[in-house]
Structure 1
Amino acid sequence: MGDLRKAELHRFDSLRDALSSSLLMRILFIGTGDIGLPSLEWLLSTPKHEVVGVITQPDKPAGRKLVLTPPEVKVRALAAGLTVLQPPKIRHIVDELKAFNADVAVVVAYGQILPKSVLDVPRLACLNIHASLLPRHRGASPIQACIREGDAETGVTIMFMDEGLDTGDILIMDAMPILPMDTGGVLHDKLAVAAPASLERALDLIAAGNPPRTPQDNALSTHCGKLKREDGRLDWNKSAAELELLIRAYNPWPGTSCLITGEKPAVLKVHRATVIEGDACPQPGTIVSADPKSGLVVSCGGGLLKLEEVQGEGGKRLAAADLLRGNALEVGTVLA
């Protein structure tokens, strides 16, 4: 019995020492986009750290009826009983941020540039979760950019924030391959799920003290801006390979589309396409095949593109073969 008692006391002492040596850090979460939700969920569930507050963008109108809708980050934070602030400009609430007494701020897809007055608020660091392998694809649309540019891989970067746009020193980078069927939406979800593991390692390094910092090589940087719906207009003068990448990259947002010309021009959305072998017609945008068996094939500036999944104006998303059974698209029609 004495030996058993000693073993229990030793176990208790070991557990106490482990707990006392770990640093429970106070985390201020700053984010708006859904890509940050898995990271917020992990922060709420881990015993390592305490989320002391959440900063997100104001509620915005959404849907056809423009109903005022909160970010999902806000919904989750309120469900967890957290204080949520939604300032139009974060620089106006520096005093409120200081009141959280945060050790680290974790920023992901917030939607505002943070000034130095905000970056200086957390005691240890202001970390950003970025969805690319920096310095490539700095800016607002790195997920779409890496597919559009034909990159073989992407990943999650955790960096120390500075006043520049994604220019801070790198703490951690974790790469993942871009698969041939990955769309912007699929890759968004993969990176969102991967981010918490990277964040955990980054916070462990911060807690341990003297975390590594690797300056970025600005000579290797590229920039990708915020996407607009018009960015998804298909330019048939581009090669079929370029257009296939663009269609994947911009699915689901901003989407890609073209115009069926004729007496009643109509928009045709393109959700999925593949490059096929064959000689292109002299005029890019020409439909060279339009029947359910051989499919809907369009001539490009280089090569041919088979439209696999499309959506007619006011219609549903369909396989191109199904669309052709109910719509007469003629060979020789030029898409604008």
Structure 2
Amino acid sequence: MTAPHPRQAATRPAQDAPALDVAVVAALPQTAPALVDALRTLGHRVPVVIGYRRPADWPGHVLGEQDLPPGVDLAVPSRTESVAGLLRAYGVDVAVSYGYPRKLPASAVAAPRLGTINCHPSDLPSYRGPNPVGWAVRNGERRIGVTWHRMDAELDTGSVLARTTIALDEQLWSFTGVNSRVLEAASQMLPQVLRRLVRGDAGEPQPRREATWAGFFSEDYATVDWSAHAAHIHTQVRAWNIAGHHPRVQGPVAVIDGTRWRLRRTTLEQPPAGTGRRITCGTGDLWVLAADPLD
């Protein structure tokens, strides 16, 4: 008798929601497989992952069928308007969205029997939009929120089903590093979220405080000014690298010895001898540890 593949095992605790058919809406190989695993471990079925067509300027690889376990289809619609039809065709009870790069139309959000939920890496309504963690780093936050909410016709405005916070410490320097912590926290909240959906729980309206928007960084933050404080530049480099791919603007760009570089990693502490390039800034020194030439 062949032992089940670990990704196919499904042991559902009695207190969890009844087995559901769940569509995962996610575009990256760092996110979709982990969500499929988490849902299957809870005893739910995942018949399909809805991915996203690779943009021409995308630097990394997008989700492929080789990233998913057996029995899970990958659908890659050419338009977001097609998502509703896919969800109806698979007859899913709920859709779980995570980091999808386009706003889902209202028809898609309403297509599953129990609706569509989304995980957003902020304490909503703070940092709504596509770049919440980048802005949190830019603003000096030491913690970020992780919020599961119902999706509605607007972006990141739906009622809250579960929330928590996680540390945003100096060791985190990439989208992948932050994403692994967000996914871990999000997966731990999934049983609670799905139970509330099955009960027909509407969730709590987002708090009545001023909402903030976290859009993509613009040109005004893309260029490094060496006359600025070293700590400001260090934060700028970290914010851009955690924010990940930008569809229109490349940053942070610095000129060193007449050559343009995209900075990847810096430190405010003097590294071991022979490591990094020391730059004297307006206030203090900064060491460039990694950079890509642009010229």
Judge conservation of contact 2:136–2:144 (CA < 8 Å) in 1.
yes
Change (3 A) 1:49 1:260: same
2:286 is the counterpart of 1:306:
yes
- Give the whole-Å Cα distance in 1 for the aligned partners of 2:236 and 2:276: 23
- Give the whole-Å Cα distance in 1 for the aligned partners of 2:275 and 2:21: 61
Q: Paired residues, what number?
A: 273
Ranked by relative contact order (alpha carbons within 8 Å, sequence separation 6 or more), the top structure is: 2
Q: Deviations over 1:252-273 (max 9, x none)?
A: 6355330135xxx212343333
Q: Deviations over 1:76-110 (max 9, x none)?
A: 33x42223221121223533321222111101111
Change (3 A) 1:128 1:294: closer
Aligned equivalent of 1:169:
159
2:187 is the counterpart of 1:196:
yes
Aligned equivalent of 1:127:
117
What is the aligned counterpart of 1:116 among 89, 99, 106? 106
SS in 1 for 2:135: helix
Structure with greater helix percent: 1
Normalising by structure 1, what TM-score? 0.70
Judge conservation of contact 1:24–1:49 (CA < 8 Å) in 2.
yes
Aligned equivalent of 2:3:
none
- Give the whole-Å Cα distance in 1 for the aligned partners of 2:55 and 2:26: 15
SS in 2 for 1:244: helix
Judge conservation of contact 1:39–1:199 (CA < 8 Å) in 2.
no
CA displacement at 1:58 relative to structure 2: 1.8
Judge conservation of contact 2:26–2:50 (CA < 8 Å) in 1.
yes
Q: Deviations over 1:249-296 (max 9, x none)?
A: 2226355330135xxx212343333447xxxxxxxxxxxxxx969961
Judge conservation of contact 1:31–1:73 (CA < 8 Å) in 2.
no
Q: Deviations over 1:297-336 (max 9, x none)?
A: 3223xx2241241336389xxxxxxxxxxxxxxxxxxxxx
- Give the whole-Å Cα distance in 1 for the aligned partners of 2:182 and 2:226: 31
Change (3 A) 1:70 1:244: closer
CA displacement at 1:206 relative to structure 2: 2.2
SS in 1 for 2:22: strand
**Structure number, greater radius of gyration:** 1
Q: Mind listing any 5+ residue stretches in structure 1 that lack a counterpart?
A: 1-17, 277-290, 316-336
Select between 135-144 and 249-258 the one with higher mean Cα deviation: 249-258
Judge conservation of contact 1:132–1:156 (CA < 8 Å) in 2.
yes
What is the aligned counterpart of 1:35 among 31, 35, 39? 31
Q: Deviations over 1:118-161 (max 9, x none)?
A: 11111112100111221111111112121111112113210000
% identical equivalent positions: 22
Judge conservation of contact 1:54–1:74 (CA < 8 Å) in 2.
no
CA displacement at 1:75 relative to structure 2: 3.2
Structure with greater strand percent: 1
Judge conservation of contact 1:147–1:184 (CA < 8 Å) in 2.
no
CA displacement at 1:32 relative to structure 2: 0.5
What is the aligned counterpart of 1:259 among 252, 255, 271? 255
Judge conservation of contact 2:264–2:292 (CA < 8 Å) in 1.
no
Change (3 A) 1:24 1:83: same
SS in 2 for 1:311: strand
Judge conservation of contact 1:274–1:305 (CA < 8 Å) in 2.
no
CA displacement at 1:53 relative to structure 2: 1.6
2:266 is the counterpart of 1:273:
yes
Judge conservation of contact 2:42–2:191 (CA < 8 Å) in 1.
no
Amino acid at match of 1:80: P
What is the aligned counterpart of 2:130 among 136, 140, 143? 140
Kindly report which structure 2 residues correspond to 1:19-98, keeping only aligned pairs within 5 A, or say none: 23-33=18-28, 34-43=30-39, 45-61=40-56, 71-72=62-63, 74-77=65-68, 79-98=69-88
Amino acid at match of 1:138: R
Change (3 A) 1:147 1:80: same
CA RMSD of aligned residues (A): 3.3
Normalising by structure 2, what TM-score? 0.79
Aligned equivalent of 1:214:
204
Judge conservation of contact 2:117–2:150 (CA < 8 Å) in 1.
yes
2:236 is the counterpart of 1:246:
yes
- Give the whole-Å Cα distance in 2 for the aligned partners of 1:222 and 1:132: 10
Amino acid at match of 2:45: E
